[in-house]
Every structure is written in structure tokens, then in C-alpha cells.
Chain A
Amino acid sequence: MSNLADAPKIAGIADLFAVAYQIEADAADRYELLADQMETHNNPELVAVFRDLARAEGIHRDEIRRLAGDIDVVAHAQRIAQWSRSESPEAADLSGAHYLMTPWHALQLALGGEERALAFFKSVVETVTDPAIKKLAEEFVEEEAEHVNLVHRLLRRYPKPSDTWSDDSDPPAPQE
């Protein structure tokens, strides 16, 4: 899980763009990985959900790259956008995956990611002094707050499943 304590330090506009880019890129990659897992384990509904989430994050990633203009965010992110101990905020927690998980679970993972990203950008707003960096960070805060709201709206479509969601009529029984 992501942790604010070991987040990359933001010392300039390029750093902020690079970190924002990496957050979205990591999110997209992680959702693709989860979609692949669900494909292998024959959960087509979740494949579609995770592919959609990956596509959305990919759009955000590409938009940040476009907004960064002449800054080579890909190269800069490789240099500075690393969390030393924890993971990038929007990278969904792989340990939260299950082969019978439902869209509600997938959206819970997504919600966690968006909330962590929101907390990260809020911390940037609170800690930087440069007005230009602060202004850009505030824009990212607005963006992430909208993503949090979007996931909440999507969750209305998918009520929490019953406690028996992981019951498997043909479970991976121990081999005697």
C-alpha cells in the first residue's frame, strides 16, 4: 500500500507532472494485470471491469503527458517517481484480488487507489511553497476528488454482494 512518508519529493513542476504521470501509468498497468488474472481464471465480468479501469487510467496518463508539454515526463518519472518502500498510490492492492471477486470488489480497490492519490496530492498542496507547483497540485486534487466521486457513483450500480460471494460449488479442494 502507498504511504505518504516515502513518496517522491516534489521540487518543481516537472517533478509533479512526472509523479502524476507515474501514478496513472502504474494504475493502468495494475488494472491490466488484474484483468489478465481474471481472464486466466474465467471471470469475464471482471475482465471487462478491469479493462475499463485500465483504459480510463490510460487516458488520464496520456492527458498528463500532453499537459506536460515539452517536459519528458516518461524519462523524468523513471528518475524520480519512485516510492522507496510502499507502492504508487493508485496501484490496486493485488492481495485484494480473488478469482470470484465481483465488480463491487473491483470498485472498492479502485476507490482505495483514488483516495490514496487524493491524499498524496493534498499533501503536496500542503507542503510546497512555490505558487506554481501548488496551483498545479490543486488541479490534481480536484481531478482526483472527481475520480473518487465517480467511483462512488459507479458503486451505486453494484451493491455489496452477500457474504457468500466467494462460495465455490467446485472449490479447489485439498488433494487426498
Chain B
Amino acid sequence: MTISPVDLRPAYKPADYKSDIKPIWCPGCGDYHVLMSFTRAFAQLALPPENIVVVSGIGCSSRIPAYVNCYGFHGVHGRSLTLAAGLKVTRPELTVVVASGDGDGYSIGGNHFLHACRRNIDMTYVVMDNHIYGMTKGQPSPTTEPEFDTALSPGGTGLRPFHPLVIALASGANFIARCFSGEPNETAAILVEAIRHPGFSFVEILSPCVTFRPDEAGWKNLVHPAPVAATSDPAKAARRIMTDDGFNIGILYRGNRRPYQPAVGQASVDLSELEKDFEL
């Protein structure tokens, strides 16, 4: 009897998911680590690149589809979730990951965030939160602290910051986690869980902006593992999330709502017919 050697190597390496395009983020930006977490998570899940789609909106974080070797869509400001929702319900076999930032996701796309949580379509929403609009040069975002004093917000905005995790929970997200970009392996492990979990998974990643928020370099000293395991009880989760210090890292809520997935019908229009409308 011949025994064939078994190749125990993982099917994919993180490098298999890196595109040839070099990121142009500022050196020191947390988004470099988030990119690593993406590629490590995809490798751990052994997802064929052709079965993944990364959809984004506009902003520094939303450049990520260009840097990942899989399908991508760099969409309209704040509308990444709508694109992703349409894609996922029509192609449920694909793994859909949506990338956004605190400006794109919570302000311009804030309304879509609520309804994506409510619909609970099986996809993963990653928001790289740096509490500032970086790409457009330093305007306060929905998560900027009220006292953050800049030329654009003299004396601070005085506004209560948006609390994305609480809002996600109240709106129906089925999985909620907070990560820190400076811990890329931990973040990758949480992304793996988020992608595996049925329904709408929301992962907020604290990702410092070294250019407009150099004070965020101190986040690495503030983050700490969540002291308790994830709960499936929304009331418990709400209490924990509302009373934590904003630096609890880990999976905070795992719900068990059934994902929304309508039956996919046959296209009523032949694609070649549709193409005729766009002929020049």
C-alpha cells in the first residue's frame, strides 16, 4: 500500500490576499495593521480570494479594497452598506466584508448603519474609528470628543459623541466587537469570529490617526481585554457597553437572530439586453 504524504500547510497565506498596490496611508497609521488583520483573517478562514468581496465608501479606511487581493468595490461616500447589502442578498455564497471609517460610517452613512443592523444580512461591517475625518484634513467626526479643540472646532464641538456599539445593539446587529488596530492578531481572530457568525456583524476597530490625532498614540496604553465573556443577552450587553470605558477589547455581544436572506429569483432581464441600453 502506498501512503501519500499529507500536505498540512494551510491553504492560503496572508500574503495571498495582498494586492500589488502599495498603501498610501501615513506612516504610523493604524489602518496598516487593520489591513494585516484582514489578510490574516482571510487566511485563517482559508477563503478563496474569488469568493470574498470587500466593499467600502470614502475616506482613508475605505482605500482598503485596493490593497486586498479579492473582489472589491470602492463606492460612494457613506453608501458602502447599501452596495454590500444588495450584493449579499443576490450572491449569498460570497463572503462580504464592508470597510468604513467613523465619518463615512456614522455620519454620512449613519442612516444606512441603523438599517443594516436592523436587516441583519449576513455580512461583516468593519469601522476603523479614529475619531476624526483624516482624508479631508481633520474635521471633527461623530465620535470626536466634545472637548477636542482645533482650528475647525475652537474650544471643542461641545457635542455628545455618537456611541456606535450601543446604537448597533439597539438597532439589531447580531455580533458586536471592539478591537484595537495595534493588536493585529487579536483583531484577526475577532474578524474570523465576526465573519463566521451568522447575520450582521459589527466590528469597531480603534485605529489611531497619527497625523490629525497624535494624542491617539496613547490608546495602546488604554486598551484592555474585556473582563467578561461575550453575552447573547442584549440587556446585559447594553449595560456593559454603555458603562465601559470605550477601551474594552473583545467580542461584546453574540446574538442569535436569524439573518435576513430573501429568496433569490431569476433575473427578469437578460444581461445582453441590458448592455444594449449602454451601447454608444
Mark A residues whose CB is within 8 Å of B. Answer: 33-34, 36-41, 75, 78-79, 82-87, 94-99, 101, 172-176
Contacts and interface: CB of A to CB of B under 8 A. Distances in A.
A172 B212 contact: yes
Contacts of B212: 172, 174
Given A86-B185, A87-B184, A174 B138 contact: yes
What secondary structure prevails in chain B residues at the interface with A? loop
A85 B26 contact: no
Nearest to A41: B27
B138 A33 contact: no
A99 B26 CA distance: 7
B32 interface: yes
B139 A175 contact: yes
A95 B182 contact: yes
B13 A41 contact: no
Interface string B206-223: 001011100001001000
A37 B185 CA distance: 21
A34 B22 CA distance: 11
Interface residues of B, number: 34
Given A37-B25, A84-B185, A94-B32, 9 more contacts: A36-B22, A40-B23, A41-B26, A83-B185, A85-B183, A94-B33, A99-B27, A176-B151, A176-B152
Contacts of A84: 185, 189
B150 interface: yes
Contact of A174 (B13, B152, B182, B183): B152
Contacts of A101: 27
A38 B182 CA distance: 20
B220 A95 contact: yes
B158 interface: no
Interface in B108-150: 136-139, 150
B9 interface: yes
Given A83-B185, A87-B184, A38 B27 contact: yes
A139 B152 CA distance: 57
A173 B136 CA distance: 10
B27 A37 contact: yes
Nearest to A72: B9
Nearest to B152: A174
A78 B13 contact: yes
A18 B177 CA distance: 33
A98 B27 contact: yes
Contacts of A173: 137-138
A172 B28 contact: no
A75 B9 contact: yes
A87 B185 contact: yes
B198 interface: no
A95 B217 CA distance: 8
Contacts of B22: 36, 39-40
A86 B186 CA distance: 8
